[in-house]
Amino acid sequence: MIAAAQTEFIPQFDVPHLVALALAPLLPAALAWWVHRAGTEKLTLQVGWALAGLLVVNEIGYRTFHYFDAENFNEFLELSLPFHICPLALFAGCIALWRRSQVAYELVYFWGLVGTINGLLYPDIVRDWAFPSYGFIGYFTSHCGVLWAALYATWGLGMRPTWRSVGRSFLLLNATAVVLALVNLAIGGEANYAFVCAPPDIEHPLVQGEWPWYMLVLEVVGILLFALAYLPFYLGDILRRKRAGENAE
Helix pair 163-187, 213-248: axis angle to 10 deg: 160
| pLDDT of the residue at 88 | 96
Q: Is residue 23 in a domain?
A: yes
109-123 burial code (b ≥16 CB/10 A, e <16)? bbbbbbbbbbbbebb
The residues with which 126 forms a beta bridge, in sequence order, are: 9
Q: Is residue 161 in a domain?
A: yes
Q: Is residue 2 in a domain?
A: no
| pLDDT of the residue at 249 | 61
188: left (phi > 0), else alpha (psi -120 to 50), else beta?
left
Q: Is residue 96 in a domain?
A: yes
State residue 83 phi and psi, 5-degree precision. -115, 5
| pLDDT of the residue at 4 | 40
State whether residue 189 is helix, strand or coil. coil
Contact 87, 59 (CB under 8 A): yes
How many structural domains comprise the chain?
1
Could you read off the pLDDT tens digit of each residue along the chain, which spans 249 residues?
344 445 677 888 999 999 999 999 999 999 999 999 999 999 999 999 999 999 999 999 999 999 999 999 999 999 999 999 999 999 999 999 999 999 999 999 999 999 899 889 988 888 889 898 999 999 999 999 999 999 999 999 999 999 999 999 999 999 999 999 999 999 998 999 999 988 877 777 777 777 788 888 889 999 999 999 999 999 998 998 887 766 666
Estimate the share of the chain in helix, then strand, then coil, as percent rounded to the nearest 5: 75, 0, 25
| pLDDT of the residue at 7 | 67
* 28-34 LR contacts (CB < 8 Å, sep 24+): 28/147, 28/148, 28/151, 28/152, 28/155, 28/156, 29/151, 29/155, 31/152, 31/156, 32/151, 32/152, 32/155, 32/156
Q: Is residue 35 in a domain?
A: yes
Domain span at 33:
15-242
Q: Is residue 100 in a domain?
A: yes
Q: What is the pTM of this model?
A: 0.91
Nearest to 78 by CA among 129, 156, 5: 5
| pLDDT of the residue at 246 | 64
Q: Is residue 52 in a domain?
A: yes
Q: Is residue 247 in a domain?
A: no
